[in-house]
Structure 1
Amino acid sequence: MDEPEFTYPEVGATAGSLPPGYHHFSVHRRIGAGRALFDRAAADILAYRMQKGTGIFHTADTAVAAPGTHLTVRLGLGPLAIHAPCRIVYTLTDPNRHGFAYGTLPGHPESGEELFAVEYHPTDDSVHALITAFSRPATWYTRLGGPATRALQHLMARKYIATLHHS
């Protein structure tokens, strides 16, 4: 079976400079302190608990994030919900930074990539959650949504991070 192509050419760009021509956003919040918190938050992120905690997780091919994993998030409620397919582009497993990025596949209402990560800062023992994304509308209804769609993305990023406070 052929893999569906990502809906954008700049695959992996959340690992560096975000490409022009997209809406960019980044939410970075301190969630606490200590290596134990970092380890727990890293495990939670890699087990899709950010998506599960916000209620948008639908399916994934693997129990833990790995490059190439297909996952689907469910956006909206009831019969109007949209199943948005994604594939994990890369994972982060640095000693002080863990997480993963997924990119959109055909059928997703947006085109782009999103990174979900946690960082440990040994200099002050702090732990920070990070969501970084670039996207642009891929459907008529997300184009029509304009600023409301972007506001919803920011709200979801804050909700993702809030799930780590309760893990």
Structure 2
Amino acid sequence: MSRRSTFTDQSVTYGAIGATLDPDFLRYPPEGFRPAEDRVKLGSGAERFERAAEQLMTWGVQQGSGFTVTEISPGTGAQYSGLAFDPEGSPLQAQPAQRTEQRFAADGTPFITAGMTATLRSGRHSVPVLVVYVIDEPDRIGFAYGTAGDAPEAGEESFILERRDDDSVWLTVRSILEPAGGLRRLTAPLQRRRRRELTKQQLRALHPAFPS
């Protein structure tokens, strides 16, 4: 079951948190938002999946696509599947919050958790992000973050790794983004070209044919 995080002391710069999990948002995005979905086969087998999962959950896609990840703050790990209701159909005042167990890479680096914040830096640009949900299942793992401060684009990106029934391993990158307001909207075509190039780099970041 896919689970989205909950957080109370942070905020993002867009509505519809968890939009990258919702097919309707991807097919019919709010005005101004651009949805995208791309995937790449990384190989096959349990070893490939586990190795890619460790890279993915320690910011491997971001570092492999040219970002330096700084100012990392731990998340709460709290998760929820949606609102819980009482027998009369009213939302419970105290909503249940599931927590995922903290996992670590072989070198001791903690995996990304729900509620974690970080800043992605590339050249002169920096993008503050907040991890809005984490997926951790036997053959499916990943996360999404949303923009949490001033950036050229506002919205959400997700990075989901899965091992399919045929033993193949795939990385899917989804985004639903809009250009920031003001003069930046005039540079939207250039931003789209940069986004496509960034997506190519993201898809290559975990691929064994493109060692970092």
Q: Same fold (TM over 0.5)?
A: yes
* Alignment size in residue pairs: 161
Q: Give unpaired runs (5+ residues) of structure 1.
A: none
Q: Tell me, yes or no, if the aligned pair for 1:24 and 1:134 is still in contact at 8 Å.
A: yes
**CA offset at residue 57 of structure 1?**
2.5
What residue in structure 1 maps to residue 55 of structure 2? Answer: 44
Q: Percent identity?
A: 32
Cα displacement (A) at 1:142: 3.4
Post-superposition offset of 1:130 = 0.8
Query: Are 2:185 and 1:143 aligned?
Result: yes
Match in the other structure for 2:106: none
Aligned to 1:129: 171
Q: Give me the whole-angstrom Cα distance separating, in 2, the residues matched to 1:41 and 1:130.
A: 12
Q: Does structure 1 retain, via aligned residues, the 8 Å contact 2:59–2:69?
A: no
Deviation sequence 1:17-47 (CA, Å, 0-9, x none) = 2233210111111111111111111111110
Which residue of the other structure, out of 5, 11, 18, is the alignment partner of 2:11? 5
- How has the CA–CA distance of structure 1 residues 144 and 32 changed in structure 2, closer, same or farther, with 3 Å as cutoff? same
How far is 1:141 from its partner? 4.9
Letter of the 1:129 partner, please give it: L
Moved over 6 A (4+): none
Partners of 2:11 and 2:66 in 1: how far apart? 26
1:61 aligns with 2:73: yes
> Distance between the aligned counterparts of 1:3 and 1:101, measured in 2?
18
The aligned residue for residue 109 of structure 1 is 152
When residues 142 and 46 of structure 1 are mapped into structure 2, their CA distance, relative to the original with a 3 A threshold, is farther
Letter in 2 for 1:11: I
Inter-partner Cα distance in structure 2 for 1:97 and 1:125: 12
**Does the alignment pair 1:85 with 2:128?**
yes
Q: 1:4, 1:106 within 8 Å by CA — same for their partners in 2?
A: no
Which has more strand, going by share of residues? 1
Q: Which residue type is aligned with residue 168 of structure 2?
A: S
Cα distance in 2 between the residues matched to 1:27 and 1:57? 23
Contact 2:115–2:131 (8 Å) recurs in 1: yes
Tell me if structure 1 keeps the 8 A contact 2:145–2:158: yes
**8 Å contact kept, 1:86–1:108:** no
SS at match of 2:206: helix
CA RMSD of aligned residues (A): 1.7
Report the Cα distance in structure 1 between the residues aligned to 2:59 and 2:183, rounded to whole angstroms.
27
- Does 2:117 correspond to 1:70? yes
- Based on CA coordinates, which of the two structures has the bigger radius of gyration? 2
**Once the 2 structures are TM-superposed, how far is the Cα of residue 108 of structure 1 from its aligned partner?**
2.1
Separation of aligned partners in 2, 1:11 and 1:58: 22
With the length of structure 2 as denominator, give the TM-score of the two structures.
0.70
**Deviation, structure 1 residue 148:** 1.9
Return the offset for 1:151: 2.0
Residue 61 of structure 1 aligns with an amino acid whose one-letter code is S
Q: Which of the pair is proportionally richer in helix?
A: 1
